[in-house]
Structure 1
Amino acid sequence: MKNRFISGMIAGSVIGATTGMYAYKRMNPRQRRMIMRRGRKIVKSAANMIDVIQSINMLR
């Protein structure tokens, strides 16, 4: 069961990455900039959430 789950996750990741790259190539430059900005914003917020979680764990 665990093996099938892992292989499914890997296959899904590869398919998702391939589809994302194809979609990115077909975008115009303005759309690409918007996606990159949104991605940076998501990464920053995720990093902030991880910092908050780590600081909560430090207080225990």
Structure 2
Amino acid sequence: MQNRFMSGMIAGGIIGATTGMYAYKRMSPRQRKMMMKRGRKMIKGAVNMIDMVQSMNMLR
């Protein structure tokens, strides 16, 4: 079952990346800039969340 899950995750990731690239190419330069800014903000938030969780585990 775990093997099927991993296969599905990989296939979904490839499909998602392909769709994202297609959508990105069809955007105007202004929309691309806005999307990149939003993406950077999301990545920073995710990194901060991971750091917070790791620091909580260190306290135990």
Q: Same fold (TM over 0.5)?
A: yes
Tell me how far 1:37 sits from its aligned partner: 0.4
Name the structure 2 match of 1:19: 19
Structure 1 stretches of 4+ moved >6 Å: none
Q: What TM-score results when the alignment is normalised by the length of structure 2?
A: 0.92
Segments of 5+ residues of structure 2 without an aligned counterpart are none
Q: Percent identity?
A: 75
Tell me how far 1:14 sits from its aligned partner: 0.6
Tell me how far 1:4 sits from its aligned partner: 1.5
Q: What TM-score results when the alignment is normalised by the length of structure 1?
A: 0.92
The Cα offsets for residues 21-55 of structure 1, whole Å up to 9 and x where unpaired, read as: 00000000000001000000001111111111111
Structure 1 Cα separation of the partners of residues 54 and 23 of structure 2: 35
Q: RMSD over aligned Cα, in angstroms?
A: 0.8
Number of equivalent positions: 60
Structure 2 Cα separation of the partners of residues 4 and 19 of structure 1: 22
- DSSP 3-state at the match of 1:51: helix
Segments of 5+ residues of structure 1 without an aligned counterpart are none
Tell me how far 1:9 sits from its aligned partner: 1.1
